[in-house]
Structure 1
């Protein structure tokens, strides 16, 4: 058996394989409620063999959405809509994860296929944004600095969202602390200019993330895996580097997190990234090396052989893929065939006649 298609157990949850679907925003919800688009979009990846299917970023509050068309999990109607999606994923053999998120200063923006850019005006459905400091993301509205009451509300919102996620049937909860959104904004000295207990030192800047992780862990109990998505570097002078994030990951583990989903960037427009196949994998490997804790790797991973190599080299414990699943919802089935996995081990019986071994046998 390949490592990619070997099971992985985190706490009391066992994933059927280690090729997982990354969270990918669809910008297609109404009032934060997911619909038939999300149902079909996410369930197809389970039919396609993924071990874990993660939801797009689900905002923990209305103002926490990236755009007015983002999914949410701050009320019961949203919870109930997610429950139908989760049931469809489970029925097809995969586990379901939710990514809990707050967009911070990058909230209330136009979605990518809108006929506009930047912040959405209040009169057109936008909302005020919040951040650790009143420093705008370039081209967006200036956010309001969160006060103590606002910070307490954010923590409470994450905890309430974790409860709704469990009630919806999700198997894993991920805390989004990457890509320039609120928790990442607090972590990075480029966006957090506070001098109180929520800023200044690395410990102060990590405080909100750790309080959120503790709140989520307290709500989900000891059995449910809690992941954290980090940006391992800001790709900008004076920003976070991988060693800083490794330290934060160690603290997050002590607060109750189990596995770290390692991406990069997103905090500032002046970042300098040179993407290429597997370009973010070394960051997952470095954090795994520095902390001794499980990581998942992402970043232009497009074949079974490439994903297997990530695991075989000890760079990560699992692999997330996003765009490759969009191009091929059955990427996991293809990867299994590429690695010589038996057809019956993963392929739905309805699809077996398409497996190349079965096709070859009939010729």
Structure 2
């Protein structure tokens, strides 16, 4: 039985196979972040046939000051819900499940889309996608943003999504709190790993309180920065256990301040050492992504217990029939 035919059911997460399409920004939304015809067509094409068990929607901003780029999807206000309902329906009709990813860009917000760039500390983001040094968030600001995540999760649930994913990878706001490279705070939201995940735990609690005990909550974790002085896998093992205790149902592994790629590593599943390490300390499912284009390699990662699910992104982005062809190749 291959990863494309092996189902998963732990009582909370139920999927027909182990293939996940991870979130990938399309820049196809309307200028105000609402779902467009182009967004609906894109996700229809990617989910057709239902070969992919779960589609995680591209990162969608929870507040205007957290908008990363032009034409990004929004979950920031109630007027977005109707379009999001259509998006969930398109994917469900094709036989796949859908999870909405919630994000705040923090210091990676582009100047052309927001004038109020914020972050945990007054330092430049090491991803250097812009040259903006953010305003340091106050404790009141953090409480306000926690409420934004909560409200956005409720909108996703109302729209019919099968779960939400809290984004803490690729150098965005929650990842900025996680990383010592961007979190220089000396209050309870900084210092050691326990302080650096305090904001995460407050967001998880707020989201869990809002959506209820039975609604799936994922967290995408930038498990290593691969930079001197940055987040390490040992940090992320501690963080992952805390996230599980707080009510997260799935940990979705990716890179931190390095983004979603490792420039010097072209191997299949280049984040496999991270997913394997996290999986060894938690009892909830773990998703592995990172350069996976070969179905047999994906299958091997599942067989070897390096992850519970495989995220195939760029290959599916380039070829909407990738999953169909992969299933045929493994028969």
For residue 291 of structure 1, give the secondary structure of its aligned residue in structure 2: coil
2:200 paired residue number? 209
Greater mean deviation of Cα atoms: 5-14 or 76-85: 5-14
Q: What CA deviation, in whole Å up to 9, does each residue of 1:110-143 have, x standing for no partner?
A: xxxxxxxxx32xxxx4321110001122342111
Q: 1:241 to 1:273 in 2, by over 3 A?
A: farther
Q: Which deviates further from its counterpart, 307-316 or 135-144?
A: 135-144
TM-score of the aligned structures, taking structure 2 as reference length: 0.94
State the aligned residue count.
324
Matches within 5 A, 1:1-363: 1-29=1-29, 30-48=31-49, 49-107=51-109, 109=110, 119-120=111-112, 125-137=113-125, 138=128, 139-266=130-257, 273-340=264-331
Tell me if the contact between 2:292 and 2:312 (Cα under 8 Å) persists in the aligned partners: yes
Q: Deviations over 1:145-196 (max 9, x none)?
A: 0001110011000000000000100002100011100001001111000001
Provide, for residues 32-72 of structure 1, a one-character-per-residue CA deviation record: whole Å limited to 9, x for no partner.
11211111111222214110011100110011111132111
> 1:216 Cα shift?
1.0
Query: What is the CA-CA distance between 1:252 and the residue it aligns to?
Result: 0.5
Contact preservation (8 Å) 1:162, 1:220: yes
Q: Any unmatched runs of 5+ in structure 2? A: none
Aligned-residue offset at 1:275:
3.7
Bigger mean CA offset, 331-340 vs 271-280: 271-280
Q: Measure, in 1, the Cα distance between the counterparts of 2:214 and 2:103.
A: 22
Bigger Rg over Cα: 1
Tell me what 1:349 maps to.
Answer: none
3-state SS, counterpart of residue 192 of structure 1: coil
Q: Matched residue of 2:197: which SS?
A: helix
Structure 1 16/303 Cα, relative in aligned 2: closer, same or farther at 3 Å? same
SS for the counterpart of 1:296 is: strand
**Any unmatched runs of 5+ in structure 1?**
110-118, 341-363
Deviation of the 1:3 alpha carbon: 3.4
Where 1:43 maps in the other structure, the secondary structure is: helix
- Shift of residue 11 of structure 1? 4.0
Farther-moved stretch of structure 1 (141-150 vs 258-267): 258-267
Report the CA distance between 1:267 and its aligned residue: 5.6
Return 316-325 or 67-76, whichever deviates more. 67-76
CA deviation profile, 1:3-32 (whole Å, cap 9, x unmatched): 332111254341111101110111222211
Per the TM alignment, residue 75 of structure 1 is displaced from its structure 2 partner at its CA by 1.2
- Per-residue Cα deviation, 1:287-334 (whole angstroms, up to 9, x for no partner): 111334421100111122111111001000001111111111122211
Distance 1:273 1:77 in 2: 43
Q: 1: CA distance between counterparts of 2:114 and 2:66?
A: 11
What is the TM-score of this pair, normalised by structure 1?
0.86
SS of residue in 1 equivalent to 2:257: coil
Give me the whole-angstrom Cα distance separating, in 2, the residues matched to 1:40 and 1:8: 28
Q: Secondary structure at the match of 1:290?
A: coil
